[in-house]
Amino acid sequence: MKKRIAILPGDGIGPEVMQGAVRVLQAISDCFQHDFIFEEGLIGGAAIDECGNPLPDTTLDLCSKSDAILLGAVGGPKWEATSQTIRPEQGLLRIRKELGLFANLRPVCAYEPLIHASTLKKEVIEHVDLLIVRELTGGLYFGKPSERRGDNKELAVDTLVYNIQEIERVVDKAFQLARKRRKKLTSVDKANVLESSRMWREVVNRLSANYPDVQVEHMLVDSASMQLIYRPEQFDVIVTENLFGDILSDEASMITGSLGMLPSASLRSDAVGLYEPVHGSAPDIAGKNLANPLGMVLSVALMLKFSFGLDKEASIIEESVMKVLNDGFHTGDLHLQQGTRVSTTKMVNKIIDS
C-alpha cells in the first residue's frame, strides 16, 4: 500500500517520540511491503523560529496533500516568554480547523502491568476499554462573540453555538465506531439546562434509528464525570461536545496510567486524519532520551487502523506495546517499582524487536 504521511515533529520531546514512530512504521512497512512516504513539515515553536508563523502555508499544503498526518507536540517556555500574540499552540488549533478535523478520539484502556501504578483501585480499572469522541471544531471554543465588554471590561462573553450538521457528523461518526466495538453509545450533554444540549439529544435520538444494533443512553455531564471514576468499565463509546469532551477526556486519561501512554486521533468524514499523543512537549525532560514513546507509537496504530484500514498491522503494534510492558520494560514516567527502566530509543527498539 502506498501512502503519503506528513511528519510534524514540533517541539520539546515531539521530535524524540516522532523518531520512534517513524522507525516503527518503517519496520511495519518493511515487513508488509508497504510504501510509506514520509515528508516532514514545521509546526509550533520550531516553525515560529524558522519563519515567524506557527503553521506556515508550506506545512498546511503538505498536510492537504497527505493521506495522514503525524504530530509530536508543540509549545514550550521559550515561546511563552517571547510573544503574547504568536504562540505555538495556535498552529495546532488552526491545523484542526483548516483541515476540518471535527472528531477527536481518545481511547483509554487498562494495561495490566500499569494497573498497580494507578491511584485508582485495581477492581475499578482492570476492565476499562472506552473511547471518547469529542467534537473538536465547534461549540464554546469557537463561538462568536467571545470578548470583554464595558467601560472597565467588567463583562466577559463567550458563546456556545452549534449548527445541526456539526452535531450530526460527529454523532454519526460515534455511532459507526460503537458499531465496530461493543455497540454501546453514551451521549453526554447538559440537556436540563442548555438549548444546544437539547438539540444534541434530538440528533442522537434521530440518528439512533439508523443504528438499531447500537444501544444508546444519555447522561448529564456532571453525572458522567462522576461515573467515569466510579464505574469506568460501564462505558464503551462516549460522544460529547467540545468543552465537555475536553474535560472528560483529560479525566478519563488518568484512569489507567501515564499521560505518556495515551494516543489520539482527529478525524473528518473521509479517511484523512491527524494522529498525536495526548501529552505536550514536556520541556522538563526534552532532549534527554527519557520520554515515553508509547503514546506516539499507539497513535501510529490508530492511523494504520482509521486512515489506512490496516487493522492487522495496527494490532501488531498494539500487541508489541502490551508485550514490552508485560516484559517489564518502561520509561521513568510510569513510576513502576519493578521491571527495567529504559530510554526512549531503547523502548522503541524493544517494540520493533518484539
Q: Which residues bind ligand NAI (CB under 6 A)?
A: 13, 73-76, 89, 92, 259-260, 276, 279-285, 291-292, 295, 331, 333
Q: Which residues pair with 329 in a beta bridge?
A: 340
Task: Provide the greatest CA pair distance for the chain.
Answer: 66
Those residues whose C-beta lies under 8 Å from the C-beta of residue 93, and which sit 6 or more positions away, are none
Query: Which residue(s) pair with 239 in the sheet?
Result: 133, 187
Active-site hit among 236, 246, 305, 350:
246
* 236 is annotated as an active-site residue: no
Residue 187 is labelled as binding a ligand: no
Q: How many CA atoms lie within 13 A of 67 on its CB side?
A: 16
Residue 174 is assigned to a ligand binding site: no
Give the amino acid at 198.
Answer: R
Tell the smallest beta-carbon distance from residue 302 to ligand NAI (Å): 15
Min separation Cβ 247 and Mg ion, Å: 7
**How far from chain centre, in Å, is Cα 24?**
19
Q: Are 155 and 148 in contact (CB under 8 A)?
A: yes
Q: Minimum distance from CB of 85 to Mg ion (Å)?
A: 22
Question: Where does residue 153 fall: left (phi above 0), alpha (psi -120 to 50 degrees), or beta otherwise?
Answer: left
Gap between the Cα atoms of 126 and 129, Å rounded = 9
Question: Known catalytic residue: 250?
Answer: yes
Whether 152 contacts 130, CB under 8 Å: no
- 285 annotated as ligand-binding: yes
Give the nearer residue to ligand NAI in terms of CB position, either 14 or 138. 14
Total length of the chain: 354
Sequence letter at residue 43: I
Give residues 209-248 in contact with Mg ion (rule: CB under 5 A).
246
Q: Which is nearer to ligand NAI, 187 or 344 (CB)?
A: 344
Q: Checking DSSP bridges between strand 68-73 and strand 273-277, what pairing results, if any?
A: parallel
* Residues between 59 and 78 that touch Mg ion (CB under 5 A): none
In angstroms, what is the minimal distance from the CB of 17 to ligand NAI? 6
54 is in an annotated binding site: no
Residue 279 touches which of ligand NAI, Mg ion, none (CB < 5 to 8 A by kind)? ligand NAI
Are 205 and 256 within 8 A, CB to CB?
no
**Which CB, 46 or 178, lies closer to ligand NAI?**
46
> Is 139 flagged in the annotation as binding?
no
Question: Does 292 show up as a binding residue in the annotation?
Answer: yes
Annotated catalytic, 35?
Answer: no
Query: Which phi and psi (to 5°) does residue 291 adopt?
Result: -65, 145
Which residue's CB is nearer to ligand NAI, number 276 or number 313?
276
According to the annotation, is 253 in a ligand binding site?
Answer: no
* Residue tagged active-site, from 222, 311, 327, 353: 222
Return the one option of Mg ion, ligand NAI, none that residue 284 interacts with (CB less than 5 to 8 A, by type).
ligand NAI
- Which is the catalytic residue, given 129, 184, 211, 250? 250
Segments in the chain forming alpha helices (H): 14-32, 45-51, 57-64, 77-82, 88-98, 112-115, 122-125, 164-179, 195-207, 221-230, 242-253, 294-306, 311-326, 344-353
The closest residue (CB) to Mg ion is 246
Rank residues 111 and 200 by Cβ distance to ligand NAI and give the closer one.
111
Enter the C-alpha cell of residue 189: 450533554
Catalytic annotation, pick one of 129, 141, 211, 346:
141
What residues line the site for Mg ion (CB under 5 A)?
Answer: 246
In the annotated binding site, the residues are 76-89, 96, 106, 134, 222, 246, 250, 280-292
In the annotated binding site for Mg(2+), the residues are 222, 246, 250
In the annotated binding site for substrate, the residues are 96, 106, 134, 222
Residues catalogued as catalytic: 141, 190, 222, 246, 250
In the annotated binding site for NAD(+), the residues are 76-89, 280-292
